[in-house]
């Protein structure tokens, strides 16, 4: 497992912004069905600006090794956070958003969820239910505290990478 983890670190050493244009061909992918995942906003922001576990997890989506889903509400929150907290022009954000939209399938949640106090966290759960996701990847303590929601595992980026490496030796 240590060897697989080092390979993942090397692959994810760049931030999402510097990986633009590195789309992978998933025709040689091992599994018959790819894992279906939702990235929480904190993962998208982290992957956009820093290398690390979030960027490595995003690399799996960018390379087509996992199937990524999102919703208009989650995209809107991502935009709000980036433009509020980072001094980047909206055009630069738009380029990052286009990267995400190239790999993320948008779902429109049909059911409301009230599992946690934060409405933004509930929107992540709603999107995951609609996408029939296998995992929610998040660093949010309220979501991580749930561990599982209606069969959907909620894990940190680091834990997701470890589980992915174990399944795909």
* Least confident residue range of 1-5, 57-61, 140-144: 1-5
Mean pLDDT of 98-103: 86
Q: What does the alpha-carbon distance between residue 165 and residue 142 come to, in Å, rounded to a whole number?
A: 25
pLDDT of 13 over the 70 cut:
no
pLDDT digits (tens, 9 = 90+) for 20-72: 343 333 333 344 589 999 999 999 999 989 999 999 999 999 999 999 999 99
pLDDT of 19 over the 70 cut:
no
Domain assignments of the chain as residue spans, ordered by start? 2-13+35-164
- Please give the pLDDT value at position 98: 87
- Start-end of H helices in 14-87: 41-49, 53-62, 72-85
pTM given for the model: 0.81
- Please give the pLDDT value at position 5: 38
CATH architecture of 2-13+35-164: 3-Layer(aba) Sandwich (3.40)
Q: Which residue has the higher pLDDT, 149 or 15?
A: 149
Dihedral sign computed on CA atoms, order 52, 34, 168, 166: positive
- Please give the pLDDT value at position 92: 87
- Please give the pLDDT value at position 51: 92
Dihedral sign computed on CA atoms, order 149, 41, 79, 84: positive
- Please give the pLDDT value at position 25: 37
Give the residue from 121, 15, 2 showing the smallest Cα distance to 73: 121
Q: Which residue has the higher pLDDT, 58 or 12?
A: 58
Contact 65, 34 (CB under 8 A): yes
């Amino acid at each position: 497992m240590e060897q697989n983890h080092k390979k993942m670190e090397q692959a994810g050493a760049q931030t999402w912004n510097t990986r633009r244009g590195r789309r992978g061909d998933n025709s040689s992918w091992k599994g018959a069905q790819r894992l279906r995942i939702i990235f929480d906003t904190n993962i998208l922001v982290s992957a956009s600006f820093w290398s690390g576990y979030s960027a490595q997890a995003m690399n799996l989506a960018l390379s087509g090794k996992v199937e990524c889903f999102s919703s208009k509400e989650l995209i809107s929150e991502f935009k709000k956070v980036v433009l509020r907290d980072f001094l980047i022009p909206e055009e630069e954000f738009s380029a990052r958003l286009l990267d995400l939209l190239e790999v993320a399938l948008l779902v429109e949640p049909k059911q409301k969820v009230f599992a946690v106090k934060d409405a933004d966290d509930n929107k992540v759960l709603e999107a995951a239910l609609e996408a029939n996701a296998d995992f929610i990847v998040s660093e949010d303590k309220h979501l991580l505290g749930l561990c599982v929601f209606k069969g959907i595992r909620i894990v940190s980026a680091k834990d997701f990478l470890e589980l992915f490496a174990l399944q795909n030796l």
